[in-house]
Amino acid sequence: MTWREYKGQNNKNLQGAVYLMEKKFTDVEEFINSITDLPALPSNIQKINELLMDENTCADDISRVISSDQSLTTKMLKTANSAYYGRLSRVVRINDAVVLIGMTNLKSMLYSMFVNQLYKGGGKNDQVMIDLWRHSVSSALTAKKNY
């Protein structure tokens, strides 16, 4: 059975789901069409990204860039000291946090923090942005799990 045949069935639940899916698509499409410019990554995140791409980079190099940003430093230490990492002692040095979190997770965390800031706009498209963000994160986690 094709999608069109499935969609055309006389099933109220299915029709309702299809309607919602199409409405969401329209909302997302309207949102995308309303974008006039895209924000640039902050320079510190750009620098960290460059360092992460360089195979000769060490944790000290990344720690120096992170340490220059008070907000980023706080978030890194908070993450490293979270229950997720299960440390018995507190992480107080950025270098230790970078090593504990790891380069791959660090990159994901930095992009998540940046994108999260974009969604705090208070605009008319907030719900669309939140839904799009949730979908993106879910898709990324599913892809990571299946990879």
Q: Which domains does the chain have, with CATH numbers?
A: 43-146 (1.10.3210.10)
Amino acid 73: pLDDT: 93
Q: How many C-beta neighbours within 10 Å does residue 146 have? A: 6
Which is nearest to 66 in space by CA: 9, 117, 106?
106
Amino acid 87: pLDDT: 87
Which is nearest to 95 in space by CA: 136, 44, 122, 61?
61
Is 0.75 surpassed by the pTM of this model? Answer: no
Mean local confidence (pLDDT), 76-80:
93
Q: Name which residue leads in pLDDT, 39 or 72.
A: 72
Length in residues, the chain = 147
pLDDT digits (tens, 9 = 90+) for 6-38: 455 555 555 555 555 666 666 666 766 776 766
Residue 132 has pLDDT above 50, yes or no: yes
Lookup: tokens for 21? 């899916």
The end-to-end CA distance of the chain, in Å, is 29
Contacting residues for 18 by C-beta, under 8 A, at least 6 apart: 7
Amino acid 20: pLDDT: 57
Mean local confidence (pLDDT), 43-71:
91
Q: Name which residue leads in pLDDT, 132 or 105.
A: 105
Residue 43 pLDDT grade (very low, low, confident, very high; cuts 50, 70, 90): confident
Contacting residues for 91 by C-beta, under 8 A, at least 6 apart: 77, 80, 81, 97, 100
Q: Go through 11-28 and write b for each residue having 16 or more CB atoms within 10 A of its CB, e for each that does not.
A: eeeeeeebeeeeeeeeeb
Lookup: tokens for 100? 């504990």
Amino acid 107: pLDDT: 86
Q: Answer for the pair 81, 102: CB distance below 8 angstroms, yes or no.
A: no
pLDDT digits (tens, 9 = 90+) for 95-118: 999 999 998 888 888 888 777 776
